[in-house]
Amino acid sequence: MQENRFVIKNAPFLRGKEDIKSIMWTVVVALLPATLWSIYLYRYRALTVILSCIIFTELFEMIFLKVRGVKNVFEKAYDGSAFITGLLLALNLPSTSPWWMCAVGSFVAMLFGKHIYGGLGNNPFNPALVARVFLLLSFPSIMTRWTVGINLTSQTFATPLGMLKTQGLSSVSNLDYLKLFFGFPIEGVGGGSIGEISEFAILIGGILLILRRIIPFIVPLLYISTVFVFTWIFNLIDPIKYASPFFHMVTGGLFLGAFFMATDMVTMPITKKGKIVFAFGCGLITSLIRLFGAYPEGVSFAILIMEALSPTIEKFTKNKKFGE
């Protein structure tokens, strides 16, 4: 008897080389330009914040994996997802953050952001953003203590967006947008969170992610252009009161949020139309908060709010079944 050698195994037949690990570490590489630039500017301060965030997230990741009774704790803990959460959290904190605040943030991110929902892939909100907003509401004074890069004095200044909010447009009218875009320190102006100083460095990483097809280009593009158009409209209505759209491009965490946080695979809507609605909503809420809200910067709030909307968006943008 000739044995049947035509064995059909289970689908999927074609397998890509990409898995969680490779994607996560690519994102880490994409974040490197921004990370290195922040370390160059803030030296040991940035390094302390980044290291303590990463160490604590990995630590809590392992603890919670163990508590949940997951097997291969070490393999799971080093798939890079916790590393990214830690790095993103660090890039969203000011350079003067004390280590214990990084620890609190890491704890919140890992527990309430991730493991309470059953770990990677189940969380409705981006863990790093949950932690950032939690810290912003819990320690508002520490979270808004910005220093100027390179000179490591502890003198603090407001960020351009903060100046715009409290002192009006005239205080920021003579800032060099190109300097802000490339992330060079300006005397008397706070740099902002350590990862959001250089839009240029983030752009490099973002383009890498788009070329590797890890993030859909439509989300950052639409997010940023919505903010641009919205702020432009108000700038045209009243140029004395509202800043130019280019100012809103080069300040704050818009690029970091648009490229690295709004594009979180887990929390973004799955459908293509849903992604468009999601990005548009993020841009709209960001501009609303920046122009009219109490907080100078709205990126993290906007993304969290849209993530809360994300399942509903998915529901309304479901693809039609063929023939329906």
Which residue lies nearer to another protein by CB, 41 or 304? Answer: 304
In the complex, minimum distance from the CB of residue 268 to another protein, in angstroms, rounded to a whole number = 13
Which residue lies nearer to another protein by CB, 122 or 319? Answer: 122
Which residue lies nearer to another protein by CB, 38 or 300? Answer: 300
Which residue lies nearer to another protein by CB, 41 or 158? Answer: 158
What is the C-alpha radius of gyration for the chain, rounded to an integer number of angstroms? 21
Structure tokens, 63: 């603890």
In the complex, minimum distance from the CB of residue 266 to another protein, in angstroms, rounded to a whole number = 10
Distance separating alpha carbons of residues 33 and 68, to the nearest angstrom: 35
User: Are 53 and 86 contacting, i.e. CB atoms less than 8 angstroms apart?
Assistant: yes
Return the H-helix or E-strand segment holding 146: strand 146-147
In the complex, minimum distance from the CB of residue 276 to another protein, in angstroms, rounded to a whole number = 18
User: Are 91 and 195 contacting, i.e. CB atoms less than 8 angstroms apart?
Assistant: yes
Rounded to the nearest 10 degrees, what angle do helices 199-211 and 20-68 cross at?
Answer: 100
Which residue lies nearer to another protein by CB, 134 or 182? Answer: 134
Which residue lies nearer to another protein by CB, 13 or 292? Answer: 292
In the complex, minimum distance from the CB of residue 274 to another protein, in angstroms, rounded to a whole number = 12
Distance separating alpha carbons of residues 248 and 227, to the nearest angstrom: 8
User: Are 199 and 255 contacting, i.e. CB atoms less than 8 angstroms apart?
Assistant: yes
Which residue lies nearer to another protein by CB, 57 or 198? Answer: 57
Residue 121 has a CB neighbour count (10 Å cut-off) of 11
In the complex, minimum distance from the CB of residue 270 to another protein, in angstroms, rounded to a whole number = 11
In the complex, minimum distance from the CB of residue 34 to another protein, in angstroms, rounded to a whole number = 23
Place of tokens 């919205």: 230
User: Are 259 and 202 contacting, i.e. CB atoms less than 8 angstroms apart?
Assistant: yes
**Contacts to another protein by CB under 8 A:** 68, 112, 115-119, 122, 124-125, 130, 133-134, 137, 285, 288-289, 292-295, 298, 300-302, 304-305, 307-309, 311-312, 315
In the complex, minimum distance from the CB of residue 75 to another protein, in angstroms, rounded to a whole number = 17
The residues pairing with 156 across neighbouring beta strands, listed in sequence order, are 147
The residues pairing with 10 across neighbouring beta strands, listed in sequence order, are none
